[in-house]
Amino acid sequence: MTFNWSEVKHFSESEFRPKNYSGELDMSLGFVLKLDLFRSQVGSPMHVHNNGGYAVSGHSENSLHYDGLAADLHITEAVGPRDVIEQALLAYKWTFLSIGIYPYWNRPGLHLDDRSAIGKEKVVWFRDDLGKYHYYSYNRFYQCLRDLILYMESDSKMSKDV
């Protein structure tokens, strides 16, 4: 179902449109309005990544990007990008979204999705520098963050030892 983008304060349709895609942009109004409210309350710009909104290819087979229920983005502040841990903590305050943490993207950021809108359980995860996913139930968010921080610290230490 399409909607009127004039209802959305902080995002535009073009941010969610895949490059060179002229078909219908089937984003969920509820999801985009939740992101918009999140953006208002955080008070910092959010940048949707290329092919990080609605997608027709380039994601896993059952990706919620294909259903208009997901966005890959990063949160910035006036002086530049926010730390990925800080981004995750900001997103966690919003209990309606599942959170994927990607510290090794070119622009470290988050995958946010509204899987609960289709009856799926919310989860949190991070992807390490080898591409491995580490999944946790949503109520284990802080365990996920702890493990990510430990992973990043060990990864940083290993690269200094080389």
Phi, psi of 8 (to 5 degrees): -100, 125
Determine the average pLDDT of the residues in 153-159: 68
**Fold assignment, 5-161:** Muramoyl-pentapeptide Carboxypeptidase; domain 2 (3.30.1380)
Handedness of CA 148, 154, 160, 162 (dihedral sign): negative
pLDDT for the residue numbered 138:
95
Domain boundaries, the chain: 5-161
Determine the average pLDDT of the residues in 57-83: 88
- pLDDT per residue as tens digits for the range 20-49: 888 888 899 999 999 999 999 888 899 999
Phi, psi of 72 (to 5 degrees): -105, 125
Mind spelling out the 3-state secondary structure of 92-142? HCCCCCEEEEECCCCCCEEEEECHHHHCCCCEEEEECCCCCEEEEEHHHHH
pLDDT for the residue numbered 105:
94
Q: Calculate the alpha carbon distances from 153 to 16, 25, 136, 146 in Å.
A: 33, 40, 20, 11
- pLDDT per residue as tens digits for the range 91-135: 998 767 899 999 999 999 999 999 999 999 999 999 999 999 999
Cβ atoms of 15 and 39 within 8 Å: the answer is no
Q: How confident is the model at residue 156 (pLDDT cuts 50, 70, 90)?
A: low
Cβ atoms of 3 and 26 within 8 Å: the answer is no
Helices 141-161, 84-92: crossing angle, 10 deg rounding: 180
pTM (two decimals): 0.90
